[in-house]
């Protein structure tokens, strides 16, 4: 097990009917900016619950934060924060709204002239404007971590940011919100959280037994609830397990003391930036291809995964490892997600080269748990996924 | 899954050679009281490491906090805190030293005349004097939770306290400390952490799939590392898994959203208070008896445990559940811990009645996950354990 530091101060408030607790958690006399996305919260009753809970607070709204939160739109929200002297942010949404709010938390206190520098120059946020979240879409884990991904259409860029100042003060996780999420988004959440765990697990063994088993626990739970939640998103028990699994998949715990990969995400971000493919689906496109390309360095963990998560007990290490990859691809298909780039765009030719070029441009020349995947490797991995 | 709140702000600093980081974590200009136990830290080099790390701080020492931290001794330490105008506490030890430090953290800011009231009147601590810990004995999880157990010899009492103000600011977990722990204490740590998980798991199913699997993960890891660590406590990899498992067993995570029992602990505390039996061993004495006595209400989880943790796949629910109890008792034996009260004291006659009397006196008339175990039930459970 590697040495590690772990601190996660976010307060989780989990369960049916908990949205009203916002009022207790936001400091009195705060001037609040409530941020949300395309307006689905106005159709499913969450908007009313939040506005009711904010009764007595001085608050302003900012809606319209899109999937893959867009820098230009966030800059409009930043202007509102400055004009209105906002001092507490409340994100009501999924990973995109929460990530956008994290950017604003950082940018609101940023002292430089160009907030894009936070992303472009990789400036960690030590202190941000305090914010809470009401999660409406389980998937990214952003509700209990300190990272965010921001997109800039102008330059077709999708970059990561983070820092110890970007943990939400509180996050309200009410699984009953899952009932009104469209099937496509539920499937995305399942694929996203599943791949989050894989990125922190599918590396090489270092006898971090507990971390391995926690990761396997989350994978097993997602596999178990996936058919239930897709069949009936109003199944509260399945929704609760789905929601808590998504949070635990990326709140930092399972990555402590172990090597992590994240190459699938780095390549996937480029596919979203290039073609607008849903984040989760880019991960499903690349996972099988990535594991096949890196079979030799990953096969020990692939075999352990096949055995413990998929109950594949027969065969050699190589056979089990291959079966593990196959099961992963089949899992994505079982939740209605295609795993070939050509199923998303007809203009896939040359994508490998373009992804490689963009990674090289950003200095991402050593991806993966060994830091040894060069842009040319990414090129071949993406090509394998056509 | 039940609704829950979860917040754990303790910073964990894990790994070999991390003790020197104390200096970064304690606020500058603090006046520090360093607390420790019987002096084993002076034999294994930890004392020197801590004192080196405190170089530059104004600090005072207080040694001699015994196992089952004793109120009278802690009151002496409290006098030092007041006299010396201490404003940061540093516990260097196992659960007893850390629990004692939590009492001091609370008592130092307590406004009443009698700090015993914190325990006797069950006053939750909202704010305590800040403290950090250097863990020298993995077992209780106290290094990452906000609870403590304090003993008062005078009245043969052992009572619990806690509150959101009692999380350590930081805890340093260096698994290399395990190398110098006597075998008896290592066995105690294994039994203690194992039973901590059982108390939060062996209740009834409520489809909290992820929490169940996390609990099973910790149990499996403890079972896996137990023989390694007993054979060779300097096996760093095994020690790291042992240490992290002990912390995760009782840092609050696995109990969120599920029913918990804790009857074994409540009865066990009385056995320690009456006979001075090591805490962990009282748990081992009572576990099998408790599960046998409450077989009908617990058998569904007992069977799941037998299947997933011990790989017992044949038989009816009842048969698997019984095998689960048997395996638990055998596990304690395998780590050299006896499971009958008569193996610890020849004066066991009447203990059941006395434990029942003491529980009744303290108003503990509804123990267990259903709150339905009366003192007479405790009496029979203890008697079954003779």
In chain B, what percentage of residues exceed pLDDT 90? 96
Please judge whether B217 and A217 are an interchain contact, meaning their C-beta atoms are less than 8 angstroms apart.
yes
CA distance B365 to chain A (A): 30
pLDDT tens for each residue of A273-286 = 899 999 999 999 99
Residue A116 has pLDDT above 90, yes or no: yes
pLDDT at res. B275: 94
Question: Region A64-91: what's the mean pLDDT?
Answer: 96
Here the ipTM equals 0.96
**CA A300 from chain center: how many Å?**
26
Instruction: DSSP for B71-121, please give it.
Output: HHHHHHHHHHHHHTT--EEEEEESHHHHHHHHHHHHHHH--SS-THHHHHT
Reported as a pLDDT band with limits 50, 70 and 90, residue B268 is very high
**Does CATH number 1.10.3720.10 belong to domain B11-176?**
no
CA distance A196 to A190: 10
Residue A157 has pLDDT above 90, yes or no: no
**Residue that the structure tokens 């997109």 belong to:** A151
* H or E stretch at A110: none
Residue A86 has pLDDT above 90, yes or no: yes
Q: Which of A9, A217, A248 sits opposite B9 (nearest CB)?
A: A9
Q: How far is CA B254 from CA A102, A273, B95, B168, B370, in A?
A: 28, 38, 19, 19, 18
Q: Which of A16, A210, A220 sits opposite B221 (nearest CB)?
A: A210
Reported as a pLDDT band with limits 50, 70 and 90, residue A155 is confident
CA distance B92 to chain A (A): 19
pLDDT at res. B156: 81
pLDDT at res. B39: 83
pLDDT at res. A39: 83
Reported as a pLDDT band with limits 50, 70 and 90, residue B158 is confident
Q: Tell me, yes or no, if the two domains B11-176 and B182-384 fold the same way.
A: no
Residue A158 has pLDDT above 90, yes or no: no
pLDDT at res. B155: 85
Please judge whether B221 and A209 are an interchain contact, meaning their C-beta atoms are less than 8 angstroms apart.
yes
pLDDT at res. B177: 96
pLDDT tens for each residue of B98-131 = 999 999 999 999 999 999 999 999 999 999 999 9
Which residues does chain B have within 8 Å of residue A237's beta carbon, measured at their own beta carbons? 1, 207
Please judge whether A3 and B12 are an interchain contact, meaning their C-beta atoms are less than 8 angstroms apart.
no
What rounded mean pLDDT belongs to chain B? 96
Considering the domain A182-384, what is its CATH architecture?
Up-down Bundle (1.20)
Residue that wins the pLDDT comparison between B11 and A155: B11
121-180 of A, contacting B, C-beta below 8 A: 175
Reported as a pLDDT band with limits 50, 70 and 90, residue A301 is very high
The CA-based angle B4-B8-B10, given to 5 degrees, is 170
Which residues does chain A have within 8 Å of residue B8's beta carbon, measured at their own beta carbons? 8
Which residues does chain B have within 8 Å of residue A248's beta carbon, measured at their own beta carbons? 210
Domain ranges of chain A: 11-176, 182-384
Short-list B328, B326, B320, CA closest to B301 = B320
CB A76 within 8 A of CB A46: no
Residue of A nearest to B224 (CA): A209
Please judge whether A210 and B5 are an interchain contact, meaning their C-beta atoms are less than 8 angstroms apart.
no
What rounded mean pLDDT belongs to chain A? 96
Alpha helices in A109-235 (DSSP H): 117-120, 183-201, 209-231
* H or E stretch at A321: helix A317-334
Which residues does chain B have within 8 Å of residue A18's beta carbon, measured at their own beta carbons? 3
pLDDT at res. A68: 85
Q: Give yes or no for A275 touching B (CB within 8 A).
A: no
CB A258 within 8 A of CB A200: yes
CA distance B205 to chain A (A): 12
List strands edge to edge, sheet with A31-35.
A58-62, A31-35, A88-93, A131-135, A170-173, A4-14, B4-14, B170-173, B131-135, B88-93, B31-35, B58-62
pTM as predicted: 0.97
Structure tokens at B125: 């601590």
CA distance B217 to chain A (A): 5
**Residue that the structure tokens 């939160």 belong to:** A69
Residue of A nearest to B218 (CA): A210
Which residues does chain B have within 8 Å of residue A213's beta carbon, measured at their own beta carbons? 216-218, 220-221
Which residues does chain B have within 8 Å of residue A220's beta carbon, measured at their own beta carbons? 209, 213
Instruction: DSSP for B282-351, please give it.
Output: HHHHHHHHHHHHTHHHHHHHHHHHHHHHH---SS-HHHHHHHHHHHHHHHHHHTT----GGGT-S--TTH
pLDDT at res. A362: 86
Question: Region A157-183: what's the mean pLDDT?
Answer: 95
pLDDT at res. B91: 98
In chain A, what percentage of residues exceed pLDDT 90? 96
CB A141 within 8 A of CB A193: yes
pLDDT tens for each residue of A192-220 = 999 999 999 999 999 999 999 999 999 99
């Amino acid at each position: 097990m590697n040495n590690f530091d772990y601190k996660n101060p976010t307060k989780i408030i989990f369960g049916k009917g908990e949205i009203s607790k916002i009022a207790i958690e936001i400091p009195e006399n705060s001037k609040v900016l409530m941020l949300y996305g395309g307006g689905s919260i106005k159709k499913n009753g969450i908007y009313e619950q939040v506005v009711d809970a904010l009764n007595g607070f001085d608050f302003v709204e900012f809606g319209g934060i899109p999937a893959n939160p867009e820098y230009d739109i966030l800059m409009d929200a930043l202007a509102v924060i400055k004009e209105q002297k906002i001092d507490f942010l409340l994100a009501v949404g999924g990973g995109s709204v929460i990530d956008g709010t994290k950017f604003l938390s950082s940018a609101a206190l940023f002292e430089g002239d160009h907030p894009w520098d936070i992303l472009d120059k990789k400036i960690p946020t030590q202190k941000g404007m305090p914010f809470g979240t009401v999660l409406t879409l389980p998937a990214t884990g952003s509700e209990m971590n300190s990272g965010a991904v921001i997109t800039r259409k102008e330059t077709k860029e999708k970059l990561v940011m983070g820092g110890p100042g970007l943990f939400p003060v509180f996050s309200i996780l009410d699984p009953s919100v899952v009932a009104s999420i469209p099937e496509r988004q539920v499937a995305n959440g399942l694929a996203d959280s599943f791949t989050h765990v894989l990125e922190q697990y599918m590396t090489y063994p270092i006898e971090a037994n507990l971390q391995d088993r926690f990761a396997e626990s989350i994978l097993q739970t997602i596999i178990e609830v996936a058919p239930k939640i897709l069949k009936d998103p109003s199944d509260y028990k399945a929704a609760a397990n789905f929601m808590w699994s998504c949070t635990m998949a990326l709140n930092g715990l399972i990555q402590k003391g172990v090597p992590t990969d994240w190459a699938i995400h780095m390549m996937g971000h480029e596919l979203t930036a290039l073609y607008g493919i849903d984040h989760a689906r880019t991960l499903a496109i690349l996972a099988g291809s990535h594991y096949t390309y890196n079979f030799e360095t990953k096969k020990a963990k692939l075999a352990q995964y096949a055995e413990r998560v998929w109950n594949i007990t027969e065969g050699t290490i190589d056979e089990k490892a291959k079966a593990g990859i196959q099961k992963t691809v089949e899992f994505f298909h079982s939740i209605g997600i295609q795993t070939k780039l050509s199923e998303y765009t007809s203009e896939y030719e040359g994508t490998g080269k373009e992804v490689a070029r963009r990674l090289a441009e950003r200095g991402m020349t050593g991806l993966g748990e060994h830091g040894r995947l060069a842009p040319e490797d990414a090129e071949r991995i993406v090509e394998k996924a056509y």
